[in-house]
Each structure stands twice: as structure tokens, then as C-alpha cells.
Chains A and B, each alone.
Chain A
Amino acid sequence: MKARTFWLVFAHEARVLIADRTLPLVLTLFALLIGYAITNGIVEIRARDAAVASILTKQNERNARNIDQLQRINAGIETPAPFSNAADPANVGGGLGGRFAYVPTSALAPMAFGQSDMIPNYYQVTYRSRVNFMYDSEIENPWNLLSGRFDVAFVIVYLLPLFIFAMSYNLLSAEREQGTLRMLLSQPLTLTKLVLAKVSIRAGTILTCAILIPVAALLIFRPETRDAVSLVQLAAWAVLVCAYGLFWFAVAVIANAFSRSSAANALVLVGSWVVLVLIVPVLLNLAVSVASPAPSRTELATQTRLITVDGLRRYQKLFSADYRYSDKPDLLLPKDGRFEVQSRPKAAFMLQRDVEADIQKLLDRFDAQLEGQQSLVDRWGVISPAIIVHEGLAALAGNGSQRYLHFQRQVATFHATWKQFFEPRILESRAMTEADFAAMPTWKWQEETLRRQLSDLSVRAIQILALVLVVAGIGFWRLKKSSAV
């Protein structure tokens, strides 16, 4: 009897919502938005994948050309140009042979662009200081940084609550205002069961839409999402979206439990959205900036310039030396496994090495401050469900801040390895050999373990589910005190 009553109300609500066109209208609009968002995501990630594939192809082609050139030089059939000499370790360790370090797109990447808006997904690693390729510029249109991209995470975090409000701001108030609540509650039906059934039909439809459309699109258009790990990630995605949606439904229940008018409920709900989705994250950013001030790019740039100027003075003589090969082209050719690296490229290498060493403390502080800010956001993000869920969705999409920090740490390690490989060859004037090309460090991305991802996500899921329980608990407790009159 109890379950039957629930399904009776559930089916009746569906009939009313269809008859008054609320459900078709809201779901169609939401489906269009989320459909557009996932399409946008798939297109963007395809472009990103294509860009990475293209630079890797170019890198391989260039490597092959370098080896080919080295063979021709060694065979004495080519005299290379000064700055594109495959036998010169300073050339190869620099732009000629620099390797690309990239973070591969995750299977769920089209769902949330996350940090990929802020941080490049690849760098060309050379002997140049990291400060000159990892910390040198903003790469994004500031307007995009401000407003975020139109991805599925944006639709879920920012727009889904508004659709939920459109469906539930008058959950009970409409029944009260049109007088049907008295008719309903004169039957053997509790207010709690009435509200549960009403929320269930609304949550069931819109959350199904929010989950099924992007998941189906990914499964169809992104075959890599069909493996076991991705399916687990998709399930985690669904849990986060459901929990977030239920949080806002619980807020709607609280608003309705106070027996105010539908207009007042709508105002309260939009107010709660403004506070929790817009104001709290901004305030948290401000608080984090005060507690752990953002590293100053100006300071970094100024220090880099000062250190560079010092270095230029230190190696003034080397930089002032003439390129001797202009009148002695034989200097561009290796002899007995040796290659005389010219003063200027050698000075450039040493300058970059010194800049890297001198700026290291500042870079470490820069990185530590960024990580400190992130850990503060992780700790205090619990005050806004929007932060918890946005961070969680970005992490699942492989575009979360932790994965990008993981990427940057790996780039730093790869960069150090790269320099270690070339430093003795440049300073000891050792010519590049074919064996050297084969032994050159190669970029290998080490993915975060699924266990680490899931443990991070579990924390976020627990945080959001705890919020849902608290808010729903308050809502239904208040509902019990509410009356039909």
C-alpha cells in the first residue's frame, strides 16, 4: 500500500507535468544545452588530440631528418647550416631536437575542460630554463578564463540547479495555492511521501537526461570510454552528478517546507544559487589569495630578467666571440667523435643552466604556493557544492588541477633528465652520434593511478553526499512541521 501510494503520486505528477508542458519544455531545453556542451567538448578534444598527434608526427619527422642529416654529415656529403646541425649537441638539445612533453587527453576529457583552459597540455622541452617555457605566458583569452568554457561540467554545475528550480520551486506551494494540498492530505498520504514522489519524478527525468546524453555521446563517439577504467569513471561521474542534483532538490524541499508563496520560493532558491555557486567560490578565491598569496608572475619575470642580465654579463666574452665557422666552415663538421661547440651556443646553454639554477628557489616557491592554494581550495571547497562537484568532474575528465600538477612535476623531471643528457656533450664538445639519438630521453607520461583518482573522488563524493543528507534532513524535518493549511 505504501509503495503503491508513492507510485500513484509519481505517475500522477508525471501526467500533470506533461499536461502543463513543464516537463517537455524543461527537458528539451536542458537536453539541447547538454547536447551542445558534449558536442562542443568532443570537437574541442578531437582538435586537441589532433594537435598533439600533429606535433608528435612533426617531432618524429624532424628526428628522422636529424638522423638522416647526421648520416650525411658523417658520410661527408653534407655541410650543415650553423643552427640546424644534427651533429651539434647545443642545436639538438635546443630547438632542433627538443622533445614534446604532453599530457594525453583522458577518455572523459570532453566532459570538462577544467585546467586545460589555464595550462598548456604540451611543452617543447629543451635545455632552456623551465621559466622560459612553462611560466612564460598566459595562453588563453582572458574572457574565457573569466566565464569558463561551455562544457558539460559548466552545464551541470551552473545551469542544472536553475533547471531544477524551474521544476521544483513550487513543489508544494503550487498545491497549496491551487487548493489541492488539502484534498491530497485528506487522503491517507503523508506530506513526506508526497514530496518524495514529486522530487523523484523530477529528479529521475532531469538527472537521467544530465547523465545519459553525455555518457551515450561519449560511448558512441569516443571508443576509448568503453574500457573498464573509463566505465568506472563514468559511474563515478554519474554519482557526482546525481548527488549534486539531489543537493539542489533538497534545497528546493527546504524552500517549500516553509509554506511561503511560489514567488518567494523562487526568490529564495535563486538567492541560494547566487550565494553557493557564484559568491562563495569568489569569496573562497579571495580568502585563499589572502591566506596563501598567488605567486607573482611579475616578480618571476623581473627576477628572470635580472638573472639573465647577470648571466649575460658573466658570459659576456663568450657571447661577444665571433662565429668562427663563417670563415672556417669545417668547424661545422664533427671530427673523431668531437664537435667544437661554438662560444655563443655554449654561452647560451650555460646562461640557461644558470638561470634555471638561480631561479629554482623562486620556481619552487611558485610551485609550492600553487599547490598550497590548491590544497586550501580542496580543504575549504566543501563550503560550496559547486566547488566540490566542479573539481570532481574536472578530475574525472583528466583536466583537474591535481593531474596538471602531476604533469608539471613530470615535465620538470623530464627537463632535468634532458639537460643532464646534453650538458656533458655540450660542455665537453662531444659530437652527436646515431647512438646518442637512440639514447636521447623520451617523454613517457605516467598516468595517475586509478586508485589515487578514486580515493580523491571518494572524498568529494562523500563531501557532496554528506551535504545532501544534511540539507535533505533539514528539509524533511521542516516538512514534518509543515501543514496543509
Chain B
Amino acid sequence: MLEALNVSKDFGANRALDKVTLRVKPGEIYCLLGANGAGKTTLINLFLDFIEPTSGEVRINGRKVADDPLSTKRDIAYIPEQVMLYGVLSGIENLKYFAALATGERHSREQLLALLTEAGLPEAAADGRVSTYSKGMRQKVGIAIALAKNAKALLLDEPTSGLDPKAASEFSQLLAKARDRGVAVLTTTHDLFHAKQTGTRIGIMKQGRLVADLSSQDLSHTDLETLYLQHMAA
């Protein structure tokens, strides 16, 4: 479970997060919507221990991130908006390294190829240098890394941004599989359609505050768009 409890984060005089409380339970996909600078990525960074909260607590599976960040990182997988890898190495070499770092285990070439295939990267591309990959291909290696980790929670920062519709759809299917396995997923996005389609819950952030926390089952696409625009205009 991912929990942010009354979390605030200040950067100097600017308040990036203002008393945000949210919980993502196992088997839930929580989509965070909001304009640029609303605080979505800041919240993700808190779960990753990249920054510390000014006040409040961030917990993963009941453990405070600040108390034992290494332990909590074992339970999460992270896919940023742009998965950046080592360009001089191949996709499979990158996966081998990150998977070993994530799990502490050595993976065979067959296992690594299976992970890449599951993430949607053609086997023929696995040995190509990452510097020749498209953004979508790199994103798939990032997904394979997350799959290798078999984490209890997923943190996704605008993961489908820049992906073609087919790749975005495949990604949504992977998310659905993760949800079915009981993984707690927190994803930020600007894509209302994607949020409605994949999310079980949807949060709307504005100027560091969580201004709406909704169940997607209770919303139609039109309702969500209207609600979102109302909050942005307010």
C-alpha cells in the first residue's frame, strides 16, 4: 500500500505540496491528474526518497520511507516519463544491470528476453544499442525492469507520454495485469481518457493540493473532463 499522510513539501518559499493525503491499496490503480507544476511528480519523488517531506509522512506497505528508504525501495518499481538508460549498452545489458540491482539476483539471458518480450520489445531489438532506440523502446525496457522487480507497488510518472496509441494500449493492459496481481499503482498523467480507462481511482491536484479524490466507476469520460476543467478554472 502507498500512503501519503498530510504531506507538505516546500522548496524555499514555494509550497509544492500542501497537506496531501492519499492511499493506494493493493489492486488499485490511482491516476493523478493535474496541470504542470501541480505537485504530481513531487509526490512521486517523495515515495522514491529523492526528496524529504517538509511535514507529514510517506509510507510504503506501512513503513515510513524516511526511516528505511532502501527497504521501501525494494517494494516499489518506478517508470519515469522518459526512461533513460545507458546508450552505449544494449537493451538487454541495461535490463540485466537494473534487474540485478533491483532484485539482487542474476537473471539468465532467457529470463531477460522473456521480460523484454512481455514488455513488448521485439527480441531482435534486445541486443541493439539503446542509443539507437526510440522513446517507446526505452520505455519498454523500463517496463521490463519493473516487471523483473515484481514489486508490490508501481510508481509511474506520465508513463504513456509520447507512446503511440498501440504501445499505450499495451501498456494499459500490463497495468491491468499488475492490478490483478494485487499491485498498488500510482500513476501521474495528463491523459484523461487513459486515466478513466485504466484507473480505479482518480485524483486531481492543483497547486500542491489534492482537490478531488474519485472512484472511476462513478464517472463517465464526460463527467471527468468537466470536473477536471472546473477544478482547473477555479
Contacts and interface: CB of A to CB of B under 8 A. Distances in A.
Interface in B132-187: 142, 145, 155
B51 A5 contact: no
A20 B84 contact: no
A16 B94 CA distance: 10
Which 10 pairs between the two chains have the least Cβ-Cβ distance? A179-B84, A186-B78, A19-B88, A187-B101, A188-B70, A188-B73, A484-B50, A20-B88, A485-B50, A12-B97
A189 B86 contact: no
Contacts of B74: 188
A14 to B, nearest CB: 12
B219 interface: no
Given A179-B82, A483-B50, A186 B104 contact: no
What is the interface of chain B mostly: helix, strand, loop, or mixed?
mixed
Interface residues of B, number: 31
B101 A189 contact: yes
A485 B45 contact: yes
Contacts of A185: 48-50
Contacts of B73: 186-189
A15 B93 contact: yes
A8 interface: yes
A54 interface: no
B192 interface: no
Nearest to B155: A186
Given A182-B50, A185-B48, A8 B97 contact: yes
Given A19-B89, A188-B74, A178 B50 contact: no
Contacts of A16: 86, 88-89
Classify chain A: how many residues form its interface, as a range.
20 to 34
Interface of B: 45, 48-51, 70-71, 73-74, 76-78, 80, 82-89, 93, 97-98, 100-102, 104, 142, 145, 155
A179 B73 CA distance: 18
A186 B69 CA distance: 10
Contact of B86 (A5, A9, A180): A180
What is the interface of chain A mostly: helix, strand, loop, or mixed?
helix
A360 interface: no
Contacts of A1: 104
26 contacts: A1-B104, A4-B104, A8-B97, A8-B100, A9-B101, A15-B93, A16-B86, A20-B88, A178-B84, A178-B86, A179-B80, A179-B82, A179-B84, A180-B85, A182-B50, A183-B80, A183-B83, A183-B145, A185-B49, A186-B48, A186-B77, A187-B102, A188-B70, A188-B74, A188-B102, A485-B50
A8 B101 contact: yes
A12 B80 CA distance: 22
A458 interface: no
Contact of B98 (A19, A20, A187): A187
